[in-house]
Structure 1
Amino acid sequence: MVQFGVDILLQQSPSWKKAAIGLVTNHAATTHALQPSRQALLEAGFNIRVLFSPEHGLDVSGADGQAMQDGRDPLTGLPVISLYGPKLAPSEEDLAGIDILLFDIPDIGARFYTYLWTLSHIIEASAHFQKPLVILDRPNPVSGNMYLAEGPMLAPDNASFIGRWPVPVRHSCTLGELALYFNATRKLSAFIEVVACKGWDRNSFQPDWGIPFVPTSPAIQDFQSMLLYPGLCMLEATNISEGRGTHHAFRVAGAPWINGPVLANGLKEMSEEGLSVQATEFIPSEGKYASKRCYGVKMEITAPGHFQTVWSGLLLIKLIQSLYPKEFAWAPYPTHVNPSGKGHLDKLTGLRNSENLFTLPLPAFLAAITKHTRVDDWKAATAAYLLY
């Protein structure tokens, strides 16, 4: 069975155990036995003084892009400072009584999942305020296989809170590895220690760990949603529902004007092996088409060891646009960190003028997305920082 960084730390008694600790975490961060990390650490005698929480809040229930406020944790009684509200990084005042920062948040392996970028601000704060940072590492749930990494790479002028620094959409790294990579390559000069997990094979996926799935945010409720997310998240920039407000977010795509069987047949013909597609209908309780019946497709990846999620998500949008040119539209996606919601597709893909890709004829489009999703040099770039 896999052991997370927090499990390894709980077996140790580090010199800083009684120092004043600021823990960056949420309720999805648990031990391998599913006890919340913050509770397990307190019971083991770690001197946690304050909690910092990312997007979706400490309880992992806040809606996507919704600002979260400070509060108090009902489980531990500790104060909670939100890092997805008035500020994205801890202030000097927040860290005044803190000796060391501890980070334990599960990631899902996609660049635009914001927990990585909360970590980036923590690294900068660690360096600026000279507070050591200990990262309790966790496996990448969609595998650490570098051959499954997919671009596009982020163009620096498309930087935002869903992608601050250049990294592929699907990065195949752990957060501990990315922290070491960024600290070195961006010369951040933070003092970082990574407590590595044990028993993880880079080629394994979350269901292989022998640990039940724990939802990481309101829309990521199962492994298939997590696996499809790097591609289907692109639907946020369109008027197609990605299934938010259903039990199948990022596993379905639909709208009131789509013919499900037609789209399903088109996607089956164009997709690579390893994707199961069926026509479906659903009624979202929130987001696009809330309370309206949508028709479309439901997807399941049957061969995760070689399936290209990002490539397939881009293809899905192209097929819908081709089938429904009058109904399909690009759409803004307002959030706390991008109130206007403009330029969302560029921020997701990392490409400049990415909507122009979809004006290409199908053969040229396929060639272009094949080129953009290939990241052959990413493995070499990160090799010195990989821990497993």
Structure 2
Amino acid sequence: MSAAVRAGIDRLAACGHPYLKGRRIGLVTNPTGITADFRTSVDVCSQLADAELTALFACEHGLYGQRQAGEKFGDETDERLGIPVFSLYGEHKKPTAEMLQTVDTVIFDIQDLGVRFFTYLSTLMYVMEMCALHGKSLLVLDRPNPLGGTAVEGGLLRKGYESMVGAWTMPIRTGMTIGELARMANDLRGLKCELDVIPLEGWTRAMEFTDTGLPWMMPSPNMPALDTVRVYAGTCFFEGTNLSEGRGTTRPFEWIGAPWIDGRQLAERMNGLGLAGVHFHPVYATPTFSKHQGVLCGGARLFVSDTAAYESVRTGLALLYEVQRLYPDRFEWLAPPKEGSRYFIDLLTGGIRCGN
């Protein structure tokens, strides 16, 4: 059965694009760059008849999704194609003039989550800036917002809190596709990037990813399924605390916990709040890496019972608040990495810390 939606890469593979005729291409992608019939964006772009793929660009998690969160890496060479793979998650977060020297047009094809602090959005913002600065055109291949395009959550990022987990003023949950965001940012930021977007075909704002018929590739090693995406905009706040956000287990972001948490107590407290569309259940798990590696943690798992009513950001902030109330002597915000820098929780929320 054919997919109900055609992503930008499917339309590029079928029809090409005027930007690319006789051009040298740099491709920003990862394992989510895939067509409905399972061709990679790298293969599609390397086989375009009227263009030459001269460079690849890798953001967080690497070109093949092989790297864990926060793992920095350097430039490489693609052994199959014999072209450079420039790192945008190491010494440089933005493509440099040297990286763009053999490129006329940059293509961006990555599945986003529609959540501000998922770093691919920041990479897009940085690529737009550098394309504008160095006179390169940019072609964004649109992909669906996994949770649809009807809901927006969370406040806007405040000026002065820009970072890799929030490069521009936008809400936490955007309610937009990555192509829509690119157009809006180019306009409102006044970047004057020579930008075009190959839009989705057949997508409506009420569609979730499972409605599209497109293949789901994990956007990162800790984003295995749509259930994970649904809670991520709220539970990711715990990255800024001394609690585990579930990394190192089979249900990252779907539960939070620590060695000193009574899972039953926390679940009962959260269920007593009557938050819409969600049930909390006690869990006990031992992360195999990241925070509390090898130590049994108690915690609470989120089960979304009503997707239309559930508010991920509100739920995550309420969970943060209740954990602080229950365990005031054990809960901690992770300290800034260096003196004078901001707390990570402040970068995640965009400048408003919950509680102490």
- Post-superposition Cα deviations, 1:132-167, rounded to whole Å, max 9, x if no partner, equal 11110111112111xx21112101111111112110
* Inter-CA distance 40–339: structure 2 relative to 1 (3 Å threshold): farther
TM-score normalized by structure 1? 0.86
Q: For the Cα contact (< 8 Å) 1:107–1:175, is it kept in 2?
A: yes
Q: For the Cα contact (< 8 Å) 2:31–2:218, is it kept in 1?
A: no
Distance, in Å, in 2 between the alignment partners of 1:76 and 1:83 is 19
* Inter-CA distance 341–266: structure 2 relative to 1 (3 Å threshold): farther
Q: Tell me which residue corresponds to 2:14.
A: 11
Q: Residue 267 of structure 1 is aligned with which of 267, 270, 295?
A: 270
Q: Tell me which residue corresponds to 2:73.
A: 68
Q: Which amino acid aligns with 1:5?
A: G
Query: Is residue 117 of structure 2 the alignment partner of residue 120 of structure 1?
Result: no
- Post-superposition Cα deviations, 1:100-140, rounded to whole Å, max 9, x if no partner, equal 11111110111011111111111111111111111101111
Q: Which amino acid aligns with 2:290?
A: G
Q: Residue 46 of structure 2 is aligned with which of 42, 52, 66?
A: 42
* Inter-CA distance 271–30: structure 2 relative to 1 (3 Å threshold): farther
- What is the DSSP-based 3-state SS (H/G/I as helix, E as strand, rest coil) of the residue aligned with 2:155? strand
> Structure 2: which 5+ residue stretches go unaligned?
none
Q: 1:40 Cα deviation (Å)?
A: 2.5
Q: Tell me which residue corresponds to 2:322.
A: 319
Distance, in Å, in 1 between the alignment partners of 2:15 and 2:110 is 20
Is the helix fraction higher in 1 or 2? 1
Q: 1:80 Cα deviation (Å)?
A: 0.4
- What is the DSSP-based 3-state SS (H/G/I as helix, E as strand, rest coil) of the residue aligned with 2:224? coil
TM-score normalized by structure 2? 0.94
Q: Output the aligned Cα RMSD.
A: 1.8
Q: For the Cα contact (< 8 Å) 2:242–2:332, is it kept in 1?
A: yes
Q: Which amino acid aligns with 1:67?
A: K
Distance, in Å, in 1 between the alignment partners of 2:209 and 2:16 is 29
- Post-superposition Cα deviations, 1:318-374, rounded to whole Å, max 9, x if no partner, equal 11111111111111375xxx899841111000124x1xx415xxxxxxxxxxxxxxx
Q: 1:168 Cα deviation (Å)?
A: 0.4
Q: For the Cα contact (< 8 Å) 1:153–1:169, is it kept in 2?
A: yes
Q: 1:13 Cα deviation (Å)?
A: 3.1
* Inter-CA distance 212–79: structure 2 relative to 1 (3 Å threshold): same
Distance, in Å, in 1 between the alignment partners of 2:106 and 2:15 is 17
- What is the DSSP-based 3-state SS (H/G/I as helix, E as strand, rest coil) of the residue aligned with 2:15? coil
Distance, in Å, in 2 between the alignment partners of 1:333 and 1:262 is 30
Q: Tell me which residue corresponds to 2:112.
A: 107
Q: For the Cα contact (< 8 Å) 1:283–1:292, is it kept in 2?
A: yes
Q: Tell me which residue corresponds to 1:180.
A: 183
Q: Tell me which residue corresponds to 2:351.
A: 351
Q: Which amino acid aligns with 1:253?
A: I
* Inter-CA distance 314–325: structure 2 relative to 1 (3 Å threshold): same
Q: 1:28 Cα deviation (Å)?
A: 1.9
Q: 1:300 Cα deviation (Å)?
A: 2.2
* Inter-CA distance 340–233: structure 2 relative to 1 (3 Å threshold): farther
- Correspondence list, 1:85-164, <5 A: 85-145=90-150, 148-164=151-167
Q: 1:277 Cα deviation (Å)?
A: 2.1
Q: Tell me which residue corresponds to 1:27.
A: 31
Quick check: 30-39 or 254-263, which moved more?
A: 30-39
